[in-house]
Chain A
Amino acid sequence: MVEQAIDVAVIGAGPAGLAAAIKAKEAGAEKVTIIERAEQLGGLLHQCIHNGFGLVYFNEDLTGPEYARRFIEKAMDLKIDMQLESMVLDLTAAKRITISSKEGLRTFHAKAVILAMGCRERTRHQIMIPGTRPAGVFTAGTAQRYVNVEGYIPGKNIVILGSGDVGMIMARRLTLEGAKVEAVVEILPYIGGLIRNEVQCVHDFDIPLFLEHTVTEIIGLKRIEAVTIARVDQNQEPIPGTERTIECDTLLTSVGLIPENELSLKAGVALDPITGGPFVSDTMETSVAGIFAGGNVVHVNDLVDSVTSESEVAGAGAADYAMGKTTPAGRKISLKGGENIRYIVPHTIGADKEVTLSMRVREPGEKVKIRIGDVFTKSLRVVKPSEMLKVNLTLEQLGKIGEETGEIEIICEKRG
């Protein structure tokens, strides 16, 4: 078996892996290797041929592949080692990485590892849609791959369950391909994705949108023939008598993403049951020393730009760790989600350097105030679970944290 020692191993070559590898190399790590199971770099961006990427990071409106190319070129310039068509099968806490490829199995021994495996889509089974199990039911991301990468159209009459970004983007994409999107069905009283996608992908194409509705049955034995949808009550239970049947040959589900952490579990990395990703510190280090994580493997982001910035932190942290530059364990302050805060990433901070916090609210709200202990407050006109909140804490603000403080609560309260 081929065995090789390296400084930083990056698992996954999506925007997270690319940004982390570039940063690790720039920060001085010598042997940086990206390991990717697909045949090309770029991860999911490869199939996101629509625009809307890079508005924050580059202040430009790019397509997914254009956004990815900027990082791929940079990684090439920096001569970062790339192992494509290489699937990581195993990862240990000692950072032994087993890879399978057409050349055979190989093993890397890395000083530091960055997890950047992205996420997978929740399926119809996981949300327990009643009915039969015919062909023609896809997750939106799989349909996106068929349409944008493989060049095939899944059907003519489409119903989309869930108004996540991928679902809405596919509603537009399939309409442009000549299919008829019969309905976008959302169980909540509001859209699940970004407002810009609601406007540009659904309203601009006059696609019927059913809020507070869900699919109550899938009908068809071989290929899907119809779905039944119904209005739901406050408990998201279908209201009898409100059912209607929509004929369709395709159902796309856009009902949530789950961070892909099977490898992390093999290495003993502790996962946060709320995000589905690892618990991380302000250097994006997981519970296993020297294993870092960035991007959708940590928590599902709505913008690739934040995936990039967050993963740069992981890259810098991993480089420091590999070069033995870690400062002795300083303070560790836990961040706790209080009123209407579902989660915060990172989970702990050190208070000795600037940090960006990403968080999501539980419920939509208007005229609210975010309060981080007695260190920081900010008023916001609206908050929605689908739009991540970002807060930068400066050294000056962090300096206000009391010596004794071990935990800070973050809340999103109604302004008085």
Chain B
Amino acid sequence: MQSQWETDVVIIGAGVTGTTLARELSRYKVDAIVVDKGGDAGSQGQTKAAGGMIYTGLIMLMSFILKSVMAPDAPLYDPDSQKVKWLEQGFDMAAQWLEELDVEYHRLTTMVVATNTEEVKALESLVKFGESIGTNRYASARWADSKMCSDMEPHLTKDVVASLYSEGDLMHTQPWDIAIAQAENARQNGIRFMFDTEVTGVLQKNGYQIVETSQGPIKTRFIVNAAGIFADVVADMGGARDWGLAFVRNLPTILDKRTSRLVNTCLNRPPVPGKGPICYRTLDGNVKIETGPYVIPRDRYDTGAYPGELIQNLLEAKRYIPEISEKDVIRTFVGMRVFNTRDQEENIIEPCSTNPRFINAAVRLPGIIPALPIARHLVKMLGDAGLELTTNPDFNPFRTAIPRFRNLSESERNKLIAKDPRYGHVVCRCETITEGEIVEAIKRGARTVAGVRYVTRAGMGRCQGGFCGPRVVGILARELNIPVTQVMESGLGSPIVPFESKELLREAARVGA
């Protein structure tokens, strides 16, 4: 079989794990190809559904307690665990990482509220647990009485008697931004990307491997499996494994920006198994409800909303913020979280036991926080396996984001429009996204409606693309020089408008004749 493509490393998956690795590899003179079955980076898999929270301190303490439900014998905090180390390192590296990539983030205050004495006790033990670890990192929580709670969160239920809060240990990003920015930066530094490319098999040859894909075979020396929800399926192509994947799903819900005043912090209740944070204000000013229930899905494709699930979610959040209303819902989606069955507490970051040149990177959540240390570890593993790592003297860590017209001052806007008038043409009215931004997103690699949406936010507002959808489709067709009928929502097989006017009538006439 003749391979059209040849490379040193194939990275399977362009989520946060795969794109971080791609960028880290581009620090070296390494030839690598990232393949993803979806149409664009970051707009597939878990990365697009994540909360985008990069945290340590108070929320991390709560997640340690929650994890103890699954592994009751494990210590609450294990300083020697690789997972914990990477989570701490990842948080400490995050600000510089995001700034180099020009990824927006904002710092949120964490607040954990108690509505009765039992919950106050839970908060007290949370404080004790934090102090027992013995570093400032986990001792940042402060007490707020009910008066202070309502000053911090004026729309909070008056049932709150006290809360813990902490500042500075939570950064909120739009998670797909990270994958998109890294894909751009990695590409800038020489890494190749292939989308709409599904990996279907791996053949082991003498000294090299063939990655079989829907676009044809790729000859490579090393393979990294960063396939997220499908990491087990892809792992089987490389060799044997002694782990499987387990899934838990919930239904994050986004409210209209009109309601952004309802929440200032990332609002939580004391750790309850099967429940997440209640809600928080996103970077873009929407209220996002993440509260449970978290349930075991039928299978990994079970990504539809169940009847009544949303209402349950809203009722739960309303107990804390009574003004939350179903009238303000603009979008829901299913978040599929992944664990491995060998050790719920750890990631699988290891070569396949029967194929040392095939490395599995099945990251458990939270997977964005540790993405950078994990990627650096993966680079080291590739080096150990024989990949030459010569520094790339041309590596440029900086990427500049597409101008965000909505956030600019009037004079900055005028300057931008003078340079390129398309920045004066607002296409998405709900989020104020201009034609200039959309065209630039396509230039940088967005190829589908979802791709444009995740890069620019066009279509993420209250009308969900009802107004800008046809316009974005038109711009994609024009810029990519393809027929409108071939513009996809998010990848092959998802056309928006598959037929031209009169096409069905002509077809019927042919059949009839």
Contact status B499-A102, CB under 8 Å? no
Count residues of B near A (Cβ-Cβ below 8 Å).
63
Contact code string A120-164 (vs B, CB < 8 Å = 1, else 0): 110101101011111110110110011101111111100000000
Contact code string B306-338 (vs A, CB < 8 Å = 1, else 0): 110111000000000000001101111100000
Q: Which residues of B contact A128 (CB under 8 A)?
A: 305, 310-311, 326, 329, 332
B513 lies within 8 A of chain A by Cβ:
no
A87 lies within 8 A of chain B by Cβ:
yes
CB distance from A148 to the nearest CB of B (A): 9
Contact status A156-B499, CB under 8 Å? yes
| Residue from the list B309, B426, B484, B485 in contact with A37, Cβ < 8 A | B426
Cα distance, A333 to B424, chains bound together (Å):
44
| Residue from the list A102, A131, A223 in contact with B493, Cβ < 8 A | A223
Contact status A120-B497, CB under 8 Å? no
Contact code string B219-245 (vs A, CB < 8 Å = 1, else 0): 000000000000000000000000000
Contact status B330-A125, CB under 8 Å? yes
Question: Which of A26-34, A193-201, A214-222, A345-353 makes up part of the contact surface?
Answer: A214-222
Q: Which residues of A contact B424 (CB under 8 A)?
A: 100-105
Contact code string B490-513 (vs A, CB < 8 Å = 1, else 0): 111111111111111101100000
CB distance from A174 to the nearest CB of B (A): 9
Cα distance, A145 to B468, chains bound together (Å):
11
Contact status A131-B329, CB under 8 Å? no
CB distance from B76 to the nearest CB of A (A): 37
Contact status B464-A125, CB under 8 Å? yes
B386 lies within 8 A of chain A by Cβ:
no
Cα distance, A178 to B499, chains bound together (Å):
11
Cα distance, A120 to B413, chains bound together (Å):
27
A89 lies within 8 A of chain B by Cβ:
yes
| Residue from the list A1, A100, A105, A223 in contact with B494, Cβ < 8 A | A223
CB distance from B463 to the nearest CB of A (A): 5
| Residue from the list A87, A125, A146 in contact with B332, Cβ < 8 A | A125
CB distance from A272 to the nearest CB of B (A): 14
Cα distance, A125 to B410, chains bound together (Å):
34
CB distance from B291 to the nearest CB of A (A): 16
Interface size class of A (residues with CB under 8 A): 35 or more
B417 lies within 8 A of chain A by Cβ:
yes
B469 lies within 8 A of chain A by Cβ:
yes
Contact status B470-A131, CB under 8 Å? no
Q: Which of B420-478 contact A (CB under 8 A)?
A: 421-422, 424-426, 429-430, 432, 434, 462-467, 469-470, 474
A98 lies within 8 A of chain B by Cβ:
yes
Contact status B329-A153, CB under 8 Å? no
Cα distance, A219 to B410, chains bound together (Å):
45
Q: Which residues of B contact A401 (CB under 8 A)?
A: none
Contact status A177-B505, CB under 8 Å? yes
| Residue from the list A98, A123, A135 in contact with B495, Cβ < 8 A | A135
CB distance from A359 to the nearest CB of B (A): 22
A192 lies within 8 A of chain B by Cβ:
no
CB distance from A355 to the nearest CB of B (A): 30
Cα distance, A128 to B217, chains bound together (Å):
43
Q: Which residues of A contact B465 (CB under 8 A)?
A: 142
In this complex, which of A37, A126, A221 has the most chain B Cβ atoms within 10 angstroms of its Cβ? A126
Cα distance, A179 to B463, chains bound together (Å):
26
In this complex, which of A120, A134, A145, A147 has the most chain B Cβ atoms within 10 angstroms of its Cβ? A120
| Residue from the list A89, A152, A216, A249 in contact with B500, Cβ < 8 A | A152
Contact status B463-A120, CB under 8 Å? yes
Contact status A218-B466, CB under 8 Å? no
Q: Which residues of B contact A216 (CB under 8 A)?
A: 307
B418 lies within 8 A of chain A by Cβ:
yes
Cα distance, A135 to B469, chains bound together (Å):
12
Contact status A102-B421, CB under 8 Å? yes
**Quick one: closest A residue to B306, CB to CB?**
A130
Contact status B484-A222, CB under 8 Å? no
Q: Which residues of A contact B410 (CB under 8 A)?
A: 1, 98, 105
Cα distance, A150 to B497, chains bound together (Å):
10
Contact status B305-A130, CB under 8 Å? yes
Cα distance, A123 to B311, chains bound together (Å):
17
**Quick one: closest B residue to A179, CB to CB?**
B504
Contact status B426-A153, CB under 8 Å? no
Q: Which residues of A contact B505 (CB under 8 A)?
A: 177-178
| Residue from the list B307, B484, B490, B503 in contact with A150, Cβ < 8 A | B484
Q: Which of A84-109 contact B (CB under 8 A)?
A: 85, 87, 89, 98, 100-105
B274 lies within 8 A of chain A by Cβ:
no
| Residue from the list B462, B484, B490 in contact with A152, Cβ < 8 A | B484
- Given A150-B474, A265-B258, A156-B467 contact (CB < 8 Å): no
**Quick one: closest B residue to A178, CB to CB?**
B504
A259 lies within 8 A of chain B by Cβ:
no
**Quick one: closest B residue to A249, CB to CB?**
B498
| Residue from the list B332, B333, B466, B507 in contact with A139, Cβ < 8 A | B466
- Given A105-B414, A128-B332, A153-B497 contact (CB < 8 Å): yes
A17 lies within 8 A of chain B by Cβ:
no
Q: Which of B51-83 contact A (CB under 8 A)?
A: none
B168 lies within 8 A of chain A by Cβ:
no
Contact code string B330-373 (vs A, CB < 8 Å = 1, else 0): 11110000000000000000000000000000000000000000
Q: Which residues of B contact A98 (CB under 8 A)?
A: 410
- Given A103-B421, A223-B493, A121-B463 contact (CB < 8 Å): yes
Contact status A101-B425, CB under 8 Å? yes
Cα distance, A155 to B488, chains bound together (Å):
14
- Given A98-B410, A102-B425, A103-B424, A221-B484 contact (CB < 8 Å): no
A238 lies within 8 A of chain B by Cβ:
yes
CB distance from A216 to the nearest CB of B (A): 7
Contact status A120-B466, CB under 8 Å? yes
| Residue from the list B426, B464, B485 in contact with A87, Cβ < 8 A | B426
Q: Which residues of B contact A146 (CB under 8 A)?
A: 470, 497
Q: Which of B269-307 contact A (CB under 8 A)?
A: 301, 303-307
| Residue from the list A104, A121, A133, A151 in contact with B466, Cβ < 8 A | A121
Cα distance, A101 to B327, chains bound together (Å):
32
| Residue from the list B301, B330, B493 in contact with A126, Cβ < 8 A | B330
CB distance from A167 to the nearest CB of B (A): 14
Q: Which residues of B contact A101 (CB under 8 A)?
A: 424-425
Q: Which residues of A contact B489 (CB under 8 A)?
A: 134-135, 222-223
Contact status B470-A130, CB under 8 Å? no
Contact status A145-B470, CB under 8 Å? yes
Q: Which residues of B contact A154 (CB under 8 A)?
A: 496-499
| Residue from the list B301, B467, B507 in contact with A120, Cβ < 8 A | B467
**Quick one: closest A residue to B496, CB to CB?**
A135
Cα distance, A249 to B489, chains bound together (Å):
14
Cα distance, A406 to B503, chains bound together (Å):
61
Q: Which residues of A contact B425 (CB under 8 A)?
A: 85, 87, 100-102
| Residue from the list A105, A152, A218, A262 in contact with B497, Cβ < 8 A | A152
Q: Which of B383-439 contact A (CB under 8 A)?
A: 410-411, 413-414, 417-418, 421-422, 424-426, 429-430, 432, 434
Q: Which residues of B contact A123 (CB under 8 A)?
A: 330, 463-464, 466
Contact status B305-A156, CB under 8 Å? no
Q: Which residues of A contact B301 (CB under 8 A)?
A: 221
What is the interface of chain A, defined by CB distance below 8 A to chain B? 1, 37, 85, 87, 89, 98, 100-105, 120-121, 123, 125-126, 128, 130-136, 138-139, 141-142, 145-147, 149-156, 177-179, 216-219, 221-223, 238, 249, 262, 265
Q: What are 19 residue pairs bridging A and B, where the CB atoms are less than 8 Å apart in the complex?
A: A1-B411, A89-B432, A100-B426, A101-B425, A104-B418, A121-B463, A121-B466, A123-B330, A128-B310, A128-B326, A131-B305, A139-B466, A145-B470, A151-B500, A152-B499, A154-B498, A156-B504, A179-B504, A221-B301
Given A102-B421, A123-B463, A154-B496, 15 further pairs, Cβ under 8 A: A87-B429, A103-B424, A104-B418, A105-B410, A105-B413, A125-B332, A126-B330, A130-B306, A133-B333, A134-B489, A141-B466, A150-B474, A177-B505, A218-B304, A223-B493
Q: Which 5 A-B pairs have the closest CB atoms?
A: A178-B504, A135-B489, A102-B421, A152-B497, A153-B499
